[in-house]
Amino acid sequence: MSLSHIAKTISASPTLKLNEKAAILREKGDPVIHLGGGEPKSKVPMDAIIAIAAHLNTAEIRYAPADGIPALKKAIIRYTEEFYNRKVNVENVIASGGAKQAIMVALQAILNPQEEVLYPAPYWVSYPEMAKLCGAIGVPVYAEDGTFYPRIKDIEMKVGPYTRAVIINSPNNPSGAMYSEEFYSDIVDFCERRELWLIMDDIYHRLLFDGKKPINCYNYAKDLTENSKLIVINGVSKQYAMTGFRIGWAVGNKKVIEAMANIQGHQTSGPSVLLQKAAVGALNGIQSSVESLRVTLENNRNVMMDLLKSFDGVNVTKPDGTFYCFADFSNYEKKSNKLSEFLIDKVLVLTVPGGEFGLEGYLRLSYCGTIKEIQEGIERMKWALDPNSPNELYIGDRKLVRDWS
């Protein structure tokens, strides 16, 4: 079939594919444990529900400005002031269909075909595909010391004549690593000096553990004028458990935001007004749900770290935030895809192969589910991988028998 070059190079989102797989298995009645998920299980804040319901009840659900309704822009401006200590104007803000679309239209606004965008590895699965959608090239940067914490030297070494942008996601999906203040300072300074766009994907910035506080990239910027090439991305999906609402945003200079709005206007005409109203409700409403989610996730992280210690061959760096950890299972199997398939086939545990995030031998394990799911999921994995495990395992009344060594 004559599909476009771009269509032929873009692969399905592995995490969305896994969600589908989990749903199909569950429908069949299989007791699947989903450790591959990317969304909190807590309820959407009531203020969001009230706001969307009120607008729905008007029975007048119309087109809205393509770059976001004024009330949402106002809430984003207030958010930026509160969490970034930075005053911006409506022209500096765009609301999009999730942080995903905000990043996508940002890349479309700044990248030409063949140009390069750099991002530290392991990286979020969508960055390489988004670069391809622009006809551009995504370049992963691996820390020379083998950690999840890149240094400016690592980035510098990959910058070439085609480099136009850098994406930083901290705390990071999939590793949970939060980069140091020194790195923030270095990368902001480096991008300013080299006139590179710097996209800060801050979607997890308030989901931090061990008393860590979000790092504010603007503190390190020398240029805070309309020439600044710093674009900050955020959204309601993760911190407010509103993944299904698809509302995210970007803050940047007026020109880039205008270009993004033009692109978005022709792509989707902007996010639904209903969902924007819900986001306004969440952003302006009672904030306690964010902290209670954070506390739950920190506790879940601790449980998962303790359980992973019981494996002989697993190495894992304790996450600083998010709801993921990225564990090295290469002592069991070097091909992460194969290992992930094995775990779903044998013990009905879903994990995301590290290869999707640019690092083979690893699995991304989520701890956004319940403690029971985490415990049972890791126990099943241990049973499947440990050669000294007993021959049989019961999942409810279903008996699994090892037919592998």
Ligand X SMILES: Cc1ncc(COP(=O)(O)O)c(C=O)c1O
DSSP per-residue string spanning 141-181: E--TTSSS---HHHHHHH--TTEEEEEEESS-TTT-PPPPH
Beta sheet of 230-235, edge-to-edge order: 93-97, 247-251, 230-235, 197-201, 163-169, 116-120, 137-141
Q: What is the DSSP letter of 13?
A: P
17 forms beta bridges with none
Q: Does 148 bind ligand X (CB under 6 A)?
A: no
* Cβ(116)–Cβ(139) below 8 Å: yes
User: Which tokens belong to 157?
Assistant: 């070494």
Stretch that binds ligand X, among 79-87, 95-103, 220-228, 374-382 (CB under 6 A): 95-103
Q: Which of residues 246-265 bind ligand X (CB under 6 A)?
A: 248
Q: Does 184 bind ligand X (CB under 6 A)?
A: no
# residues near ligand X by CB under 6 A: 13
In the complex, the smallest distance separating the C-beta of residue 95 from ligand X, rounded to whole angstroms, is 11
Chain length of the chain: 405
In the complex, the smallest distance separating the C-beta of residue 110 from ligand X, rounded to whole angstroms, is 17
- Bond prior to 171 in cis (omega within 30° of 0): yes
In the complex, the smallest distance separating the C-beta of residue 234 from ligand X, rounded to whole angstroms, is 9
Gap between the Cα atoms of 160 and 116, Å rounded? 9
Nearer to ligand X, 99 or 198 (CB): 99
In the complex, the smallest distance separating the C-beta of residue 14 from ligand X, rounded to whole angstroms, is 11
Q: Does 38 bind ligand X (CB under 6 A)?
A: yes
Q: Does 364 bind ligand X (CB under 6 A)?
A: no
Q: Does 124 bind ligand X (CB under 6 A)?
A: yes
In the complex, the smallest distance separating the C-beta of residue 354 from ligand X, rounded to whole angstroms, is 15
In the complex, the smallest distance separating the C-beta of residue 16 from ligand X, rounded to whole angstroms, is 10
- Applying CB under 6 A, which of residues 68, 171, 235, 369 lies at the interface with ligand X? 235
367 forms beta bridges with none
- Applying CB under 6 A, which of residues 45, 98, 319, 321 lies at the interface with ligand X? 98
Nearer to ligand X, 180 or 243 (CB): 243
Q: Does 243 bind ligand X (CB under 6 A)?
A: yes
* Cβ(188)–Cβ(228) below 8 Å: no
Segments of 170-251 assigned E as strands: 197-201, 230-235, 247-251
Q: Does 169 bind ligand X (CB under 6 A)?
A: yes
Q: Does 36 bind ligand X (CB under 6 A)?
A: no
Segments of 8-136 assigned E as strands: 33-34, 93-97, 116-120
Nearer to ligand X, 169 or 330 (CB): 169
- The contact set with ligand X (CB under 6 A) reads 38, 98-100, 124, 169, 173, 201, 203, 235, 237, 243, 248
